Structure 1
Amino acid sequence: MSITVRQATIHDLELIAPLFDAYRVFYGQASDVAAAARFLRERFEHHESVVMLAVDEDGEGAGFVQLYPLFTSVRMARLYLLNDLFVAPGGRRRGVGAALMHQAADAARALGAVGMMLTTAHTNLAAQRLYESLGWQRDTEFREYVLRF
């Protein structure tokens, strides 16, 4: 599978929205492509995220990664949260995820970030293997807490 990975724009919503919807379905949410498109449109319009898009040789979306900006007060610098990574079934185990991750890291560096962070499910072993193969390290210094509303 030949793919191209590039930074997405608002003009790519038709390619990204179905992938984003499939990502949400993977995590147990009901399918709603229209709502996915609205959510992504808002992120683009308000410059609230950076999306990398993998496109196959037929011009179809093969996967995406979405980064959200954060800051580290201690280092007084920008970080990016890699919040969403999804590869369409046909692109899995073909290097699409790794290509997206590399492009995301390159984009974060180019935007002046000092690092990236992500969280994944304890049971998502395939993702964990990918992250570790790309040099990501499990944080042993901090414990994550969540306050849900």
Structure 2
Amino acid sequence: MKKISSFLLLCLCFVMLAGCRIQTTYKNGSVSGIVKDVITQQPIADALVVIEYLAITVKMTTDQQGHFHMDEKTGWEIVGMMDGRAPQDFQWPGFITITAKGYQTRSWLADYHIVYDYPIQLLPENSSLSYVKMELPNGQTLYYQLDSEHSPPQPPETEVFVEAG
């Protein structure tokens, strides 16, 4: 036991003397919300929620009440003091895509930590309406080379849908 403690202390000293530091890495943020049918306002169970953070993809399904939740996941790494920034040492936004059988797919870029305190509404597949498409914020295309549409959810009282075409 004493040899293991001595070895760990020696490793720690080596890291400190070599000019290294321990830094937090951010794998994915915390996200939660509820998915509902835009017409009936009923929850949509078993909808697939996919969140992409740089090279990390997280998948989950909604429960019977349409809820989904993901806790933040972090890690750590040892880096040299003079090293530049690593891709995961910043809380990048994530690209969220929600798909459900019988509904139009909805995708948008969301903050690293976000709680939707209003329902995320999905349009029926056979609806003549579609989601309002928005331009990605400046600079985001540098990190997300995705062909998905950007249609972030809005509170139901302010959300607008457009005629497909």
User: Is TM > 0.5 for Structure 1 vs Structure 2?
Assistant: no
Structure with the bigger percentage of strand = 2
Structure with the bigger percentage of helix = 1
TM-score after normalising by structure 2: 0.27
